[in-house]
């Protein structure tokens, strides 16, 4: 029976995603990934190369899927705020992308910025984002998108700061609310902030 290459790659990517999200690049172990995927670890080197390349493949796969899962639609400040809210929902439910992006920054920062594939992905994302804010230049659109990504990715992995600065209550720091309440509050705060920033950027080009 022929070896199902695509299925094997998917199993390896899924296992590697869980491993990297939990342990980062330095802490991840190829043997654990291979065991979780039920595949000889030599397959990993055959399909993806070294561990750093496997991490890049995992993150690229997740990011590109999220761009399809959370499309940028509409025009104007409210559309930008809506996108930020939906991206928050996606990343909160997914839980993996924020962790991978933070691990990337800590462990792969310079090399990630030099990656041709990563640069191409980000350029495509900024280009799509510019369609939401007609007339806004590329640098300003990039700043807006960076703000969205920073806010959305930070909250799932910096829960200790949320508890220290805000508390787990209903926006008062009293600790009386539920996790669902707090997520809704944080989402609303992000949408409000991003909508205002986008409106300001659009007003400057009128």
Percent of the chain at pLDDT > 90 equals 72
Q: What pLDDT score was predicted for residue 134?
A: 96
Average pLDDT over residues 130-135: 96
Give the model's confidence band at 116: pLDDT under 50 very low, under 70 low, under 90 confident, else very high: confident
The percent of the chain in helix, strand and coil, each rounded to the nearest 5, is 80, 0, 20
Match 């998108």 to its residue by tokens: 145
Average pLDDT over residues 17-42: 94
Element at 158 (helix H, strand E): none
The model scores a pTM over 0.75? yes
- Burial (CB count <10 Å: 0-12, 13-18, 19+), residue 21: buried
Helices and strands: H and E segment counts in the chain: 10, 0
Q: With CA atoms as reference, report the closest residue to 65 among 82, 87, 46, 37.
A: 87
Q: 3-19 pLDDT, tens per residue?
A: 578 888 999 999 999 99
Q: What pLDDT score was predicted for residue 170?
A: 46
Q: Which domains does the chain have, with CATH numbers?
A: 1-49 (1.10.10.60), 51-204 (1.10.357.10)
Q: What pLDDT score was predicted for residue 168?
A: 57
Q: 161-187 pLDDT, tens per residue?
A: 988 998 754 444 434 456 778 899 999
Q: How far apart are CA 31 and CA 34, in angstroms?
A: 5
Q: What pLDDT score was predicted for residue 178?
A: 60
Q: What is the DSSP secondary structure assignment for residue 92, as one 8-state letter?
A: H
Q: 62-105 pLDDT, tens per residue?
A: 999 999 999 999 999 999 999 999 999 999 998 899 999 999 99
Give yes or no for residue 36 having a pLDDT over 80.
Answer: yes
| Low-confidence winner among 67-71, 108-112, 146-150 (lowest mean pLDDT) | 108-112
Average pLDDT over residues 116-131: 92
Is 54 in a helix, a strand, or coil?
helix
């Amino acid at each position: 029976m022929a070896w199902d290459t695509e299925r094997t790659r998917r199993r390896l990517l899924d296992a590697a995603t869980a491993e990297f999200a939990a342990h980062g690049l330095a802490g991840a172990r190829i043997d654990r990934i291979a065991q979780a995927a039920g595949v000889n670890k030599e397959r990993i080197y055959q399909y993806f190369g070294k561990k750093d390349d496997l991490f890049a493949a995992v993150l690229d796969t997740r990011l590109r899927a999220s761009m399809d899962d959370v499309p940028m639609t509409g025009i104007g400040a409210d559309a930008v705020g809506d996108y930020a809210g939906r991206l928050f929902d996606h990343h909160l439910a997914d839980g993996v992308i924020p962790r991978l992006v933070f691990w990337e920054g800590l462990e792969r920062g310079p090399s990630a910025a030099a990656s041709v594939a990563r640069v191409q992905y980000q350029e495509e994302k900024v280009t799509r984002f510019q369609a939401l804010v007609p007339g806004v230049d590329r640098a300003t659109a990039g700043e807006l998108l960076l703000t969205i990504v920073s806010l959305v990715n930070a909250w799932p992995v910096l829960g200790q700061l949320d508890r220290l600065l805000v508390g787990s209550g209903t926006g008062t720091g009293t600790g009386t609310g539920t996790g669902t309440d707090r997520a809704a509050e944080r989402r609303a705060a992000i949408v409000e902030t991003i909508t205002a920033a986008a409106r300001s950027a659009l007003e400057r080009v009128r």
